[in-house]
Structure 1
Amino acid sequence: MFNTPLPTVNELPSTRKLVRSTVIAMLVAAGLLVTVVMPSEYAIDPTGVGRALGLTQMGELKIILAQEALADAAAPQASTPAPAPAPAPAPQVAQVQLVAKPAPQSEATSAPALKTNQITVTLKPGEGKEIKLEVLKGKTVSYAWTALGGPVNYETHGEPYNAKKGYFHSYGKGKQVKDNQGEFTAIFDGTHGWFWRNRSNSDVTISLKATGDYLSVKQ
């Protein structure tokens, strides 16, 4: 039926060649098993080649998906609660509408009372003195003072709590002044007030009136 000639004995592979081919095939199969099949199917990668080729990650993903499927199958299904019986209709009762009268509104809280102090100090020739008020940031103090006996040099200034030595903020100053009035708003928490120095040859008395939202007076 077929005209193909049969191979001769010389053309057939020898036993040695068959054994060698078999061994090579087994080694190739083992290599594929270790580097491809085991990493991609079971995430087992003893050589590290599977992770380099991305096959180990594929096997890890398969294992995670299988575990999630088993967990979903094992989870008990929540039973649907039976519907609650409908409540019986309540007897009709005549409703009486009550109108509540609004409570009288309390008067607005009055602003805190301002303090007022009248203070007098006497300066000898060449002497300097100061009066300070303890004032918090944003609070305002109005004042007026007069010098009896001669003009004085003055400065209105403030120092914050725990200020560095020599640091102060000046609100205003003058030389050879007999009186001054105005107001200041504290720019920080601390002591704020006045310093006077008598440069004349006679005593000078300073009379100060201060009104405002301050905590205390310091001399």
Structure 2
Amino acid sequence: MFNTPLPTVNELPSTRKLVRSTVIALLTAVGLLVTVVMPSEYAIDPTGVGRVLGLTQMGELKIILAQEALADAAPPQAVTPAPAPAPAPAPAPAPQVAQTQHAAIPVAQSASVPTPAKKTNQMTVTLKPGEGTEIKLEVLKNKTVSYQWTAAGGLVNYDTHGEPYNGEKGYFHSYNKGKQVKSDKGEFTAIFDGTHGWFWRNRSNNVVTISLQTSGDYLSVKQ
């Protein structure tokens, strides 16, 4: 056995030193939480330091990967066919009216109200092997967007989905998705106000270039 002398009272740290060390450790932990953990794990960067260090981008990528995993695990959604329109009733026969001569009265033609032109955009993104990216449109509820995209250089996984404004974190609605495909086209009608668009993941060993064309009633493009 080792006979180690016990420290004297004077050698022990005082209460003031212990409190000071505890406060310093607490402040250090809070600083690391705000500047490192929150940006890298949840893409929350209140100080802006995380984006400078590249940690916020890491958190955003983790959220995208989590959305992709949820989209892959979600069961396919059944599409309910639209009900057939009811046949229009036959027009009633015009009543017989005695012909009477009247002076022709000019009728002023009402000016037609022009409808706003639909937006059309063409965008291109390049993905390295294993890389993913998104292109989103701001679309209001019940507005329709037509689209077509092609991938040159390899096959990609994709998910056409939407996220509501101020929605719950991690919630999204998938309109269409696929794995190892080269192109896709169609249209979707927004089921809520929010951002709607596409997420692609390059699962090949080559650089892939995606060309997207959109047309419809949307507010803006987020790329």
- TM-score interval w.r.t. the shorter chain? 0.5 to 0.7
DSSP 3-state at the match of 2:213: strand
| Structure 2 residues without counterparts, runs of 5 or longer | 1-102
CA distance in 2, matches of 1:102, 1:212: 40
Q: Could you report, residue by residue, the CA deviation over 1:115-170 in whole angstroms, capped at 9, with x for unpaired residues? A: 00000000011000000000000000000000000010000000000111100000
Which of 196, 207, 210 is 1:203 aligned to? 207
Q: Could you report, residue by residue, the CA deviation over 1:52-71 in whole angstroms, capped at 9, with x for unpaired residues? A: xxxxxxxxxxxxxxxxxxxx
Mapping of residues 10-89 of structure 1, within 5 Å: none
Residues 1:126 and 2:133 aligned together:
no
Q: Which residue of 2 aligns with 1:166?
A: 170
Return the index of the structure with the highest Cα Rg: 1
Residues 1:190 and 2:201 aligned together:
no
Cα RMSD of the aligned pairs, angstroms, is 1.5
DSSP 3-state at the match of 1:153: strand
CA distance in 1, matches of 2:109, 2:143: 29
* 1:104 shift after superposition: 1.8
CA distance in 2, matches of 1:102, 1:130: 58
TM-score by length of 2: 0.52
Percent sequence identity over aligned pairs = 77
CA distance in 1, matches of 2:174, 2:186: 14
* 1:108 shift after superposition: 2.5
* 1:106 shift after superposition: 2.1
Q: Which residue of 2 aligns with 1:181?
A: 185
Which of 146, 156, 162 is 2:160 aligned to? 156
CA distance in 2, matches of 1:147, 1:130: 14
| Structure 1 residues without counterparts, runs of 5 or longer | 1-98
Aligned-partner residue type, residue 181 of structure 2: V
